[in-house]
A and B are shown apart, each in its own frame.
Chain A
């Protein structure tokens, strides 16, 4: 065990100065220096020393340097050799990078944002170009990739979209129904629900579910491909990664999103219908008639157009985050999180714009 003894102005260091034995010594020595006038440090009693002991010895030297009139006696040669070995390593340490000031941090963040935005716009242009060209020329994409992506991004998402839409339709209808029943206006639930689900809730919820489910998957896939050099390998095979990897997904979501939204509307209407018939005791025929009455073809057109724009935003943001990944597995995780957050934000902003334009 590391021993410390302070006697008549001399600090005696004795025993093993090793990691396992240092706990007390490490806290006791600075206290001795603070409370006493240490005239001499005598390390002659140290019998064993490791890297932790050498680090503590450096601290003792520092304390002695800052105390006037303290003399440090030499350690035994074999102990001094260990100290020297670690001291020489410490001398070579490089300084940690200087932290940026807040103004520089804001500037750097703005520059990164500008660069990232520029790359996102370039990527979006690339995706639209190849998506358009790809409709007429199938080269540069793998056979069967569109149907595969339609199944993964659309069909596989159908159960979760339908289930959540049903539950959300049920909850909204229940909350609205309670208030409407109090004013004997239950019959208007059909109008309210039909309008709200078609215009707002179904496309919005479907897009948010797709951003969480498929957007994250797209980012993770592209980011992993980037990290494992698969994107570079595609480039070296004279294949455009945007065309080969992203465009089939872009085509698939463009096709599947309106279908998912249609199913979402149906499922949410079913949830609402249960409340209307079961709780408000409305006639099924009357409810359906009123629901269909508020529907206009132009409303549906805007809804489906909006849903396709949401889908494009999801794919573009997901691909952008995937291609921008840096680092290994941690980078993939960060990119995926950023992708979902940015997609949801973009969807809500786009929805607000649609709502203002098509009031």
Chain B
């Protein structure tokens, strides 16, 4: 089995006195789509934020290729971040800048590429997410699905090693959600990315997941393939899949 690209051990997260995550152990394997799932409020997004160091874990360790992330020096951490792409739940595009500038920022700030090459790369990535027509639009002029795609273009503009997606299809209609999921699979195959998706959308899980991590009430209750999850015989997981079934 491949060595994990991200390895989480004994992770605990708290807000004040209340415990959000307890004793989380998980391994993200390279070139796989790992889906972190669970019901609303179970701590999925908190887990993602703790892995990315947007929030500091109360206890435990998060390693990137065996290197501890939680207490990594800021300069080294900035270097690591350049290998990560993050798609936020609310897209998080910079509202004052057009789509083009939003996508060009990482290239302008972290590379010494000429403006012509940057321009070519931005257009390439926008083409990849099928958003060529909106290049000079402001985020406020885009629909929810278009914002997600623009944010995805920004997240992959530096060809990251890992792409983290927080609820990429939430609030989207089934067709747009399908298109976005297919886009993620397309990116995985074309750019050979490792993808981590946080979601509770069953359709997305079925389409994307190579491996799933099921969080319930702040604890990791299952990790394995979707097929293994169906056979695990855990009531919470069975109810979760049963509730989302549409016959």
Contacts and interface: CB of A to CB of B under 8 A. Distances in A.
Contact of A230 (B52, B86, B94): B94
Contacts of B90: 228-229
Contacts of A228: 90, 92, 95
Contacts of A235: 54, 81
B144 interface: no
B143 interface: no
Given A228-B95, A230-B92, A230-B94, A236 B86 contact: yes
B106 interface: yes
B109 A237 contact: yes
Nearest to A143: B108
B95 A236 contact: no
A236 B52 contact: yes
Interface residues of B, number: 23
B78 interface: yes
B108 A236 contact: no
B84 interface: yes
B89 interface: yes
A238 B108 contact: no
Contacts of A224: 95
Interface in A196-251: 221, 224-225, 228-230, 232-239
B109 A139 contact: yes
A238 B88 contact: no
Given A236-B84, A237-B81, A238-B81, A229 B105 contact: no
A225 B82 CA distance: 21
Nearest to A239: B109
B116 interface: no
B82 A233 contact: no
Contact of A229 (B79, B89, B101, B106): B89
A108 to B, nearest CB: 12
Interface of B: 52, 54, 78-79, 81-82, 84, 86, 88-90, 92-96, 101, 105-106, 108-110, 154
7 contacts: A140-B109, A221-B96, A229-B88, A229-B92, A230-B95, A232-B92, A238-B79
